[in-house]
Amino acid sequence: MKIAIACDHGGYPLKDALMQVIASMGHEVVDLGAHSYDANDDYPDFARYIGQALQHGQVDKGVLLCGSGVGACIAANKQTGVRASVCHDVYSAHQGVEHDAMNVLCLGSRIIGPQLAEDLVRAFVSASFSGEERHNRRLEKVNALEKAG
Ligand code: RB5
């Protein structure tokens, strides 16, 4: 799979280590920045880069980092076809993909440490949507909400 990763300055401390984790799992990492620490950068810009990469089919999933994960998640979910969530527990990191087709994992580097972040990314990247009828039905309803605006 191709996995995008992006962060603002709040998420920057986790990015390099998580890129290595994804690569070590045999996936291609698409690094959408930030490429250096800039205390004045803004998380919506990085949410947009991941959203566009998903919308254009350039990546299969994204990992988006900010200080808490919250701002990144809010911004990511404004974009059509993006289903993002902050998951700071391993169950949600895989169940969100399996049941809800989550395609962006948002993490807060001021909240969690590098080992938990690695476990969360491993769970997220390894998980697949179940395709079960009840999950498809719910996904269609979520898509209808998105279309309704
Ligand atoms: C940046 O200082 C911080 O506000 C941002 O990374 C994030 O935590 C927002 O939710």
Give the position, in ligand 1's atom list, of the atom nearest the Cα of 108. Answer: 8
Atom of ligand 1 nearest to the CA of 110: 8
Report how far ligand 1's centroid is from the alpha carbon of 108 (Å).
8
Domains of the chain: 2-148 (3.40.1400.10)
pLDDT tens by residue, 72-123: 999 999 999 999 999 999 999 999 999 999 999 999 999 999 999 999 999 9
19: confidence class by pLDDT, cuts 50, 70, 90: very high
- The number of residues making up the chain comes to 149
Which of 8, 9, 15, 41 should be mutated for ligand 1, with most atoms under 8 A from CB? 8
Ligand 1 centre distance from Cα of residue 76 (Å): 14
**How far apart, in whole angstroms, are the C-alpha atoms of residue 54 and residue 64?**
12
Mean pLDDT confidence for 9-20: 98
Bridge partners (DSSP) of residue 5 are 31, 63
In the chain, helix, strand, coil percent, each to 5? 50, 15, 35
Residue nearest to ligand 1 atom 8, measured at CA: 67
Residue 37, pLDDT score: 98
Dist CA 38 CA 137 (whole Å): 42
Report the alpha-carbon distance of residue 132 to residue 122 in Å, rounded. Answer: 23
* Ligand 1 nearest-atom number relative to CA 66: 6
pLDDT at position 103 is: 99
At residue 67, the pLDDT reads 98
Q: With a 6 A CB cut-off, is 8 part of the ligand 1 pocket?
A: yes
The larger pLDDT score, comparing residue 149 to residue 121, is at 121
Q: pLDDT digits over 23-48, tens only? A: 999 999 999 999 999 999 999 999 99
